[in-house]
Amino acid sequence: MRAVDLIRRKRDGGELSTDEIRFLVGGIATGEVPDYQWSALTMAILWRGMTPRETAALVHAMLHSGTVIDLSDIPGSKVDKHSTGGVGDKTSLILAPIAAACGVTVPMVSGRGLGHTGGTLDKLESIPGFRIDLDLAAYRRVARECGLVLIGQTAEIAPADRVLYALRDATATVESIPLITASILSKKLAEGIDALVLDVKTGDGAFMAKREDARALAESMTRIGRELGKPVQALITSMDAPLGRAVGNALEVWESVECLKGRGPDDLMEVSLELAAEMLVLGGVAANHDDALARCRRAIADGSALDRFRRVVAAQGGDPRVCDDPLGVLPKAATVELFRADRAGFVAGIRAWPVGQASMLLGAGRARVDSTIDPAAGIVFRKAVGDEVRAGDVVAEIHANPLHAAAVPQVLAMLGDATAIAVDRPPRSSLVLERL
């Protein structure tokens, strides 16, 4: 086989065999297929797509490019959740302890944020001492002891994806549904899970802004996952407005703790509980969705979910006092500027995309892979969609440190553009749009 012949065939709309895809993925490690040829191939895939069979073969090849972890010696079901990313999306920090408290083991391998979307690892690293770089032995130990573990991708887990993810970002091919499917499933299935719940975002702040594109991605991942022997449930959820009130790493950890104490905002609690309930049903610890929701709410009410978070923070080297006094433990910004309403009415909308861009200007997100994160920076909304405001009311707090203080006037302008105030209160609707 020659990579150039396979690139040409895909460029012209042809189909690649399973052996050819295995050769291309294997060539990443051996150097037989260099980066520049894979860059050409990813663009050909973006334009021409892949059949379900090709996509399944790509997932399988990337999955087996490294270690596939076996957690069968840990009792019970192992279920994870993956989100396609959004603004203020900190559901992993909430649902993983809830599911663990209800009897499902959650071995979670997460990623970092890029652009306007936040990353679970960046949030966790804002907790003093928290380690996301556990080796596989420690990964197993923490999963067994705590019922959950929260780490970053290791060199052993789907190493082909580490290369392709960087290439996709550099070659403007991130949006390819077959490549997204292969990237997510190869990492998640390598964790040792029995089942997977997907949160596919759609709307202003999502990578898949169009609902039909989000549905196509959800269908691709559920179909391929099931073909590879893993039950997969997907929810399509709205990302038109930031999820919750906090956007920024330490701020989102604080809000996650508030949720685990039962004091979180309605929208964030809804999505977190719905996803956690799906994990319980797939894990076989709840008879149906209503039973699962009741168990999840009970885990919050009796404190067992917060206790699970406290245990995993301590097990991974973090300061467990974050569960009792998050504002005293987490890093804080030097200054807090206020964004105020310019007229009276009701908050009719807060566009997620410009809010994500604004938080990135403050240092809470990455414009590039090598950008440095400011864990204390971000935005906290005091008003949410549907709230009544008077002229001069504080709508949001801007948390900034000196390095990014010059961006505050621009952030204020961006929040003004993102926030719509209307005469009438907008109707409230569920953020869960579809289940697949």
Domain 79-326 top-level CATH class:
alpha beta
- The neighbouring-strand residues paired with 398 are 337, 379
Residue burial 128-152, b: 16+ Cβ < 10 Å; e: rest: bebbbebeeebbbebbeebbbbbbb
Q: Indicate which residue of 80, 161, 240, 267 is catalytic.
A: 161
Domain assignments of the chain as residue spans, ordered by start: 3-49, 79-326, 331-422
Nearest residue to 350 (alpha-carbon basis) of 393, 382, 373: 382
∠ Cα 388 393 395 (to 5°): 80
User: Has 183 been annotated as catalytic?
Assistant: yes
Give the pLDDT score at 364: 92
Instruction: Give CA–CA dist 39/352, Å, rounded.
Output: 31
Q: Indicate which residue of 78, 116, 123, 168 is catalytic.
A: 168
Give the pLDDT score at 114: 63
Helix H or strand E segment including 106: strand 106-110
DSSP assignments along 190-212, one per residue:
HTT-SEEEEEEEESTTSSS-SHH
Name the architecture of domain 331-422: Alpha-Beta Complex (3.90)
Which fold, 3-49?
1.20.970
Q: Which residues of the chain have pLDDT under 50?
A: none
User: Has 82 been annotated as catalytic?
Assistant: yes
Q: Indicate which residue of 183, 186, 256, 272 is catalytic.
A: 183
- Tell me the two tokens of residue 416: 């003004």
Q: Indicate which residue of 10, 22, 78, 82 is catalytic.
A: 82
pLDDT digits (tens, 9 = 90+) for 193-218: 999 999 999 999 888 889 999 999 99
Q: By the 8 A CB rule, do 237 and 208 touch?
A: no
Q: Indicate which residue of 123, 187, 245, 311 is catalytic.
A: 187
Give the pLDDT score at 262: 96
User: Has 161 been annotated as catalytic?
Assistant: yes
User: Has 390 been annotated as catalytic?
Assistant: no
Under 8 Å CB-to-CB from 27, ≥6 apart: which residues? 3, 33
DSSP assignments along 243-264, one per residue:
SSSEESHHHHHHHHHHHHTT--
What is the distance, to the nearest Å, from the Cα of residue 278 to the centroid of all Cα atoms in its chain? 16
